[in-house]
Amino acid sequence: MTIGWGIIGCGWFTDNFIAPAVRKSKGADLIAFLSRSQDKAKKFMTKHNAKAAYSDMNAFLQDNRIEVVFIGTPNSLHHSQAIKAAEANKHVFCEKPMALHSIQCREMIAACHKSGVNLMVGYMLRFHPAHQEIRSLTTNGDIGKIIMLRCQFYVKYNEFDEGRWRMDPLLAGGGSLMDLGTHCLDLLEFLNTKIIEVSSFMNTLTTGSSVEDTLVASLHFQNDSYGMVDVCYSIDIGKERYLEIYGDQGYVRTVGTISGYGGGKMEIVENGESRIASYPPLDLYLPEIDEFNASIRENREPAITGEDGLRNLEIVEAIYRGAKKKTVEKIQSLQ
């Protein structure tokens, strides 16, 4: 059983990551692209061997071959597009962040529940094999009580040739936190436990935009461990980004795993003994496509749900509140 996919958004991200992953997935059939530009949709259709190209949302959603809609547009469009797709009885795979704010997330979840369709949010870092192993280590208590965590995600903004909308607060909803930090927050909760309160600082240091290019957040977790997320649009370190988790009986450090391209190295130290694992470049988008297909075939929730996307936005909102007010902020859903 193959599942028909339609992709909304014809930009750098869908071109380089999502369309190739859908094509590679044995359980997926790439049906169509939707873009404001019919010419661009046709170019993507030809390049990725899809079957149709649309510039009209209604016509796109009326294509009965499409069972899943992937939303890869600016953040401000996720809410309306997801609700329209759900109302057309399409399963919804939404790129992160799920929406501009948590109220929109709740409405998206309600629309999908009402139509009985699945909703998944694109946090591909969970699927890196290093992160999967770390989750096993922390869940099993192999490095003892978790005490400190850190996730770093730096890029140089000029990497985003077609992503200038990320600097527009009306389209993006924020800067480096909404773009990069959402990945870090989701990953740290996946590897540890829920974040219950935060404090943060943010600034615009080099890009001259109306959103933050630099942000650091301190995190307090439900198991009384502590962490830090630092994200930036102004530093070029390639893919040499760090993930660190320290317990009272060992620790794990990775370099280069915070990337959609996979790869990187991981050092695990347990009881004074160290081992190092290296990873080849990997397509981290393929396993999330496969997981969503499997959830539909098996009539179950996907591994990353709309509720996960909602929770992520609740944390993001608390971090922004803390940065603006210079206060420690609790996560609203836990109050």
As a whole number of angstroms, the distance between CA 242 and CA 186 comes to 15
Please give the pLDDT value at position 207.
Answer: 87
Please give the pLDDT value at position 238.
Answer: 86
Residues in the chain: 335
Average of per-residue pLDDT across 242-249: 98
Average of per-residue pLDDT across 32-47: 98
- CB neighbours of residue 56 within 10 Å: 11
User: Which DSSP letter does residue 65 get?
Assistant: T
**Three-state secondary-structure class, residue 46:** helix
* Full DSSP string of 301-316: --SSBHHHHHHHHHHH
Closest by Cα among 234, 187, 183, 211 to 320: 211
The two structure tokens encoding residue 177? 């936190």
Residue 80: C-alpha distances to residues 139, 164, 184, 304, 305 (Å): 37, 21, 26, 20, 18
The two structure tokens encoding residue 179? 């773009």
Beta strands 3-8 and 28-34, pairing class: parallel
As a whole number of angstroms, the distance between CA 239 and CA 155 comes to 8
As a whole number of angstroms, the distance between CA 247 and CA 270 comes to 9
The two structure tokens encoding residue 187? 């990953």
Average of per-residue pLDDT across 226-232: 98
Contacts of 23 (CB under 8 A, 6+ apart): 30, 48, 49
pLDDT for 192-207, tens place per residue? 999 999 999 999 999 8
As a whole number of angstroms, the distance between CA 267 and CA 245 comes to 11
As a whole number of angstroms, the distance between CA 217 and CA 285 comes to 27
As a whole number of angstroms, the distance between CA 310 and CA 329 comes to 17
In terms of Cβ atoms closer than 10 Å to its own Cβ (0-12, 13-18, 19+), residue 234 is middle
As a whole number of angstroms, the distance between CA 38 and CA 34 comes to 8
Average of per-residue pLDDT across 36-43: 98
Cis peptide before 97 (omega within 30 of 0): yes
φ/ψ (deg, to 5) at 276 = -125, 135
The pLDDT confidence band at residue 226, using thresholds 50, 70 and 90, is very high
As a whole number of angstroms, the distance between CA 255 and CA 265 comes to 5
As a whole number of angstroms, the distance between CA 189 and CA 180 comes to 15
Average of per-residue pLDDT across 118-132: 98
The pLDDT confidence band at residue 163, using thresholds 50, 70 and 90, is low
Domains and CATH numbers, the chain: 3-123+287-304 (3.40.50.720), 125-284+314-334 (3.30.360.10)
Q: What sign does the CA torsion over 139, 144, 150, 153 have?
A: negative
pLDDT for 263-279, tens place per residue? 999 999 998 899 999 99
As a whole number of angstroms, the distance between CA 117 and CA 301 comes to 10
